Amino acid sequence: MAIYQLDDFTPAIHPSAWVADNAQVMGNVLLGEDSSVWFGVVIRGDMEAITVG
């Protein structure tokens, strides 16, 4: 899994969330409890905040 800081934002990932090995999460992103990000997914919180779960 690739987690990237973007500008001043680093993704917040709940300990129970699952992110696939080749997924990418960057910027202003919140992954909540028991959420999942599957293979090949890219979540970019560069323009607005993104909340999953």
**Segment 15-43, tens digit of pLDDT:** 999 999 999 999 999 999 999 999 999 99
The DSSP bridge pattern shows strands 2-4 and 18-19 to be: unpaired
Range 26-37 burial, b when 16+ CB lie within 10 A, else e: bbbbbbeeebeb
CA 36 to chain centre: 9
Place 3 in a pLDDT band, splitting at 50, 70 and 90: very high
Residue numbers of the domain that contains 22: 2-52
- For the question of whether the overall pTM of this predicted structure is more than 0.95, the answer is no
Vertex 22: Cα angle to 17 and 24 (nearest 5): 65
Contact partners, residue 8, CB within 8 Å, separation at least 6: none
Give yes or no for residue 1 having a pLDDT over 90: no
pLDDT for position 48: 96
Q: How many domains does the chain have?
A: 1
